Amino acid sequence: MNWNRAIDRFLAYGPEQHPIVLQIGGNKLENLAKATQLATPYGYDEINLNCGCPSPKVAGHGCFGVRLMLDPKFVAEAMSVIAANTNVPVSVKCRIGVDDHDSYNELCDFIYEVSSQSPTRHFIIHSRKALLNGISPADNRKIPPLKYEYYYALLRDFPDLQFTINGGITSIEEVNAACTEGAHGVMVGRAAYGNPWQILGLVDSAVYGAPLRSITRRQVLEQYQVYGDSVLRIYGPRPTVREVVKPLLGLFHAEPRNVVWKRAVDAAFRHCTTIKSLFEETLGEIPDEVLDAPITEVPSGITDTFIKAKSLLPPPYTVNEEELLYA
């Protein structure tokens, strides 16, 4: 495989995926510059620096990810280098703290230094701190408590910046509730991956006000089969059938025979060589009334999570320039 094809494997995407953000990670300025330069021809809409991953391989031995929150001066330098090598906006994804460095003022010091010493104007805030004591990344998404009040306090104290809220948001209802209380944006990750039909399928209508599309899972899969077989093994042995189908495994979340279908898919991975053949072999496990039911709006409910968070805001942040100068 030649060099350009190797880069394509990681950076290429279809035009229908815009707007799309590339996240990069690292702790060496020259490597971050090179990564940004390599990404430029692919036309990403934003370049994001990972300052939130708590994985031992990343934040531990790698000394980047969320560990970078302990060095805001470096993050500001890194963001300046990234911005100098691209013509699109740059952003930072971070937690609200690390280990015992978890006060609201310390979070604000990080935001202030990075934003004042670099072109960064957008921060995606995972509203939990990270624990670097050896617990797994999965536990780091559950054990540290959510503190949405820190996020809403940032909106108050940094009115010239853009903040996206992240962490623990698992429904369209919660997305809209966060926005109603003033969130500039909402990032939903694992919930959308685990239940795409009821999350991604409703975003356009329930969040952006577009007309609800009368589309079924069968129609989605017919389109995905064409796409999947077109990208199968375009980089030598990759992507495999398993890799192409994996994003679909939550499509029948909580539906009858979902577990049976997943078992059939797992067995089919061993011998199916196309997406079409895998679907032909396994989709008979899903009832027609599930495959052919159009997506419907979920009845809206009331969530006061973010209203409560706004009642718990910490005191306003005051910049201590002298402390930051000698930090």
Q: Which residues are identified as catalytic?
A: 53
3-state helix, strand, coil in the chain (%, to 5): 50, 10, 40
Q: What is the C-alpha separation between 202 and 205, in angstroms, rounded?
A: 6
User: Where are the strands (E) in 167-263, listed by range?
Assistant: 185-187
Q: Is 233 annotated as a binding residue?
A: no
Q: Is 93 annotated as a binding residue?
A: yes
Q: Is 156 annotated as a binding residue?
A: no
Q: What is the DSSP letter of 185?
A: E
Place of tokens 């009040």: 149
Q: What is the C-alpha separation between 117 and 119, in angstroms, rounded?
A: 7
Q: What is the C-alpha separation between 69 and 106, in angstroms, rounded?
A: 10
Q: Is 167 annotated as a binding residue?
A: yes
Give Cα separations from 174 to 129, 140, 156, 230, 292 (angstroms). Answer: 21, 21, 21, 36, 27
Q: What is the C-alpha separation between 126 and 114, in angstroms, rounded?
A: 17
Q: Is 126 annotated as a binding residue?
A: yes
Structure tokens at 25: 């990670």
Q: Is 23 annotated as a binding residue?
A: yes
Give the residue numbers of the binding site: 23, 93, 126, 166-168, 189-190
Give the residue numbers of the binding site for FMN: 23, 93, 126, 166-168, 189-190
